[in-house]
Each structure stands twice: as structure tokens, then as C-alpha cells.
Structure 1
Amino acid sequence: MEQGQFWDIISRSLEVSDGSIERQAAELEDILADLPPVQVASFNARFVSKNLELYSWELWGAAYVLYGGCSDDCFEYLRSWVVGQGQDYFKAVQRDPHTLDNGRLSFAFESDEAEWLSYVGEDAYLRASDGRDLYEDYPQSPSTIAVGEPSGTAWDEETVESLFPDLSPLP
């Protein structure tokens, strides 16, 4: 799947979501389930790739400060949520993790619902392929579960706030 088509599908799902992660995930799944299975697998691979592009200590540190803590699962779901916000927001957050503190995050990320975005490709593939499993059909398909260390310089939980003095925990 071409990058333009990928971001178009994300945008279409975001437009009808009205800020609801659950609605966006359902819309994404519906859009994808109407595509040929190979296209769904390609979408999933691109989604995972974009998620992993955000796997950096800097972004994790900003999320840690904003949430008052951020587990590896929380960070995975946050990255999926950022991808789900569309190309412009993705690029802005990738360039500057402080972008997370623009008001959008506090509204949309009050729950762990962003996990649904991490798995929407797998769920859509089940539908598009009449019940086949994405990872059985494409065993080399990547997963949003990151392996190894994030890019950049590691931080310490005791001092991470000093790296982001302009960020305050979300209410």
C-alpha cells in the first residue's frame, strides 16, 4: 500500500470518529475489511512501521512526564494513537514530542482505548480473509511490540522531568 493511500485511510477514519478512539478503530476496520487481504496486510505493515518510527526515548520521556508515568504498553498504544491522528500530527510529534502537550492528548487519551488501533489491521484481516490470521498468512509481518531499545538517549525515571521542564502532567 502506498503511503498516500495509507494516510488517506487514516484521515477518513479520523474524520468520522468525533474524537472517539473506539469509533475510529471501528471505522478503520470497516474500511480495511472491504479491501483485498493483501492490501490489509500492507496497511498493517505500514501502520506498524509508523508506530515503530516513534519508538524514541525522547517521545517516551515526554509521555512519561505528561502521564506521570508510562509503561511500555502505554507507550505502544500512545504511538498507535499518534499514527491514528494523521500524517501532519504524526510528523509534528516525530519532530518535536512537546507537540503532545497541545491539548489533543488530554481529550482523546483518557483511556487505554488506543490499544484498539494497534490491532485494527489484524482484526480487519480476519474479516477480509474470511477468518484467516494475518500472522499465519504473513509470518514475517511486523508487530507494534518494539524489540530492543528506543532510539536516542535513555533517561532515568528520577530525572526525566528535568528534561521536559515545560511539560506538566495532564489532569
Structure 2
Amino acid sequence: MTGTVGANPRRAEILGAAAELFARRGYHGTSIGDLGRAVGLTGPALYRHFRGKEAVLAEMLLDISDRLRAEGARRAADPDPTCALDALLRWQIAFALDNPALITVHERELDNVPQPQRHEIRRLQRAYVEEWVAVLRRLHPGRPEERLRAAVHACFGLLNSTPHSASGLDRAAMADLLHTMARAALMV
């Protein structure tokens, strides 16, 4: 999925504009014409790039889920579990701070993605969580896996709250605060 978006800058531009519009107006409050205008196209011209608004939403969420999973696997592979955890935290925090619209869209609009793509998004997300669980298992051998998985989900809840909580501090201060809080939450 990442290759498709990365290889076509126009598609990436459309997906970026769609994330902002869907986050601000909602999926149902955004028309194909709105998407086209946001990137200097007519609504019908947008169909040269996507089958429709549903396809835009599906590709957006599939792409980010795939990128998170792939980068998570790369970072979790560090042989030192402490370094792996810090690398995962830095990656997720940067994503959360840099992509509040994607977080909002995922949170509110996933049910509008057709079932086959929604199933794949969920599969990729579970694989991403399992990268984190594997690192925590190395840090906390013998702890129940259910507890580690619950801690990862709670940590994501904290980090993905940034569309609502990140406005009071500058980016560096917020990143430091999130890192400290998330790391403490994962030391269960």
C-alpha cells in the first residue's frame, strides 16, 4: 500500500487533503467536489485517481496502518528491548503529533470503510500492537501477555489523544511529556 501512495504524489496529495477535510467536516459532510477543489481538481477529475470517496477513505487508512506496522516492525527489531521501546515510542509520538487529522479520521470514520478493507486495516493494526507486545515481553518476561497488550492499547489511547491535548505546549515539550508518560505506563 505504501508504494502506491509514495509512487504517486497526486494520490498522496489527495489523501492528505481528504484527511484534513474528513477530520474537520466528517466523511459524510465532505463531497467528491470538496475533495477535488481542495487539490485543484474538479470532482469528476478526482475519479481518475480514485473510484470514489469510499476508496479514498479506505486507501488512507490502509496506507497509514501499513506504514505504522512496517516501521513498528523495523524499530521493534532492535536487539536491546529498551532501545526498541524508545524507538517505538518516538515513532508513535511523532506520528500522533504530526497527523492529528489521520487519528481523528480513523477514530470517527473506520466504520465507513468497506468490510474487506476494514478487515485488513484491523489485521495491520493488530500486527502493529503485537510488535509492541513482543518488545514488552522481552522487557518484562513472565508478565501475562494480556496485561502487556492492555498496556499497549492504553498507551495508544494516551498518545492518540493528541488531537485534543497537544495545543497547550510546543511540539518538543509535548513529545517529551508524552514519552515520559507513555514509558511509565508501559513499565507495568
Task: Give the shorter-chain TM-score range.
Answer: 0.3 to 0.5
Q: Which has the higher contact order (CA 8 A, sep 6+)?
A: 1
Give the greater-gyration-radius structure (CA). 2
Please state which structure has a larger fraction of its residues in helix.
2
- Give the TM-score of the pair, scaled to structure 2: 0.36
- Give the TM-score of the pair, scaled to structure 1: 0.38
